[in-house]
Amino acid sequence: MRILVTGGCGFIGSNFIRHMLRKYPDYEIINLDKLTYAGNPDNLRDVENNKNYEFIRGDICDSKIVGKIVLKVDAIINFAAESHVDNSIRSSREFIQTNVLGTLNLLEFARVNKIKKFLQISTDEVYGSIDKGSFSEDSLVKPSSPYSASKASAELLVMSYVVTHRFPAIISRSSNNYGPCQYPEKIIPLFITNLLEGKKIPLYGDGKNVRDWIHVQDNCEAIDFIFHNGKIGEIYNIGGGTEKENIEVAKFLLGEFDKSESFIEFVEDRKGHDRRYALNCEKLRKLGWKPKVNFDKGLKETVKWYVKNKDWWKRLKK
């Protein structure tokens, strides 16, 4: 099988490509990435000479590039997205361009060329916030930020193609990822790298916002599982089953670096900040998938990765 992976130089995309090349030696992967600030070719240096891997620098909004690549592939897995909520609040236009119009461009070329399968990578943030209980795949979509609104819009486009064109698409919605190669604007790598630099860690509001955390390797295995076993036209939640308040994560990391709570700096809360995310993942578990990585162990290993790879993240924080 030949698969187009878009946004493959990003955090989750690069881990996914590495996973697929290792697990399926007869698969070929074409990685299309625009290499915006969060797309880092260093994430895949170890596989760039793999005979089954090809990197193409380009934008999913570019019809000429996408049109040529889609002719050569059997399936598409779309990771490409602007993803930082803070950036979407400051300027939303790029999020609509890439996340909505870029997805539409991929869908149309995939439809015309009769692609066998299209997997849209989405987020639990499309649901918005929930005080009690958890979201199932049938829950109301109620995004709170321009970022999550753009991802929800992309999902609606995908599902419209499923209904209108009988298009072979599936959607995954994952909870917060952590692990190696995550750009240091996100909360866990930001806190780790700040502490390595002797700086304080900025915590929004009262730090009581709750997120469900999943290790990136678990997410990649779940995406692989959905790609091969998921039902066309369905949506699947991917969660780690580990809900933590942001302040709990901060204190855990302080302990790893033997730092006091004086290193926490409470800052003005983000506009429209969702209070709690929680996913019901029974649908995927009934198919046979479940997460493997313990959060505490995974977070300790993530800390070690950033300690060992200072050159990687220091270039990004300049």
What are the catalytic residues? Answer: 124-125, 147
* CA 139 to mean position of chain CA atoms: 20
Q: What are phi and psi of 283, to 5 degrees?
A: -60, -45
Helices 103-112 and 146-165: crossing angle in degrees, nearest 10, is 20
CA angle 267/273/277 to nearest 5° reads 120
Using alpha carbons, list the distances in angstroms from residue 292 to 7, 214, 234, 240.
25, 9, 24, 9
157: CB partners within 8 A, 6+ apart: 100, 103, 104, 107
What CA–CA distances, in Å, run from 221 to 120, 136, 214?
Answer: 15, 20, 11
